[in-house]
Amino acid sequence: MSEARQSLIYVENALSRIENGTYGECEVCGEPIEEQRLEALPYATLCMEHAE
């Protein structure tokens, strides 16, 4: 899969999370994803603790 296609998938998934109200929540623990992480990686789905 091309890098551009993968990026598009990440963005589409982030838009879906915005629509269903879960954007910015960790998929593992449900806690908010750190603001600086979302600024650097807007389509992040995991908080720093669970991303490691």
| Torsional sign, CA 7, 10, 12, 18 | negative
Please give the tally of structural domains in the chain: 1
| Spacing of C-alpha 15 from chain mean position | 10
CATH (domain of 46): 1.20.120.910
Q: Label residue 1 by pLDDT band (50, 70, 90).
A: confident
d(CA 7, CA 4): 5
**Long-range contact list for 7-14, CB < 8 A, 24+ apart?**
10/43, 11/43, 13/43, 13/45, 14/42, 14/43
Q: Label residue 2 by pLDDT band (50, 70, 90).
A: very high
Looking at residues 11-34, what average pLDDT do you find? 97
Which range marks the domain in which residue 19 is found? Answer: 3-51
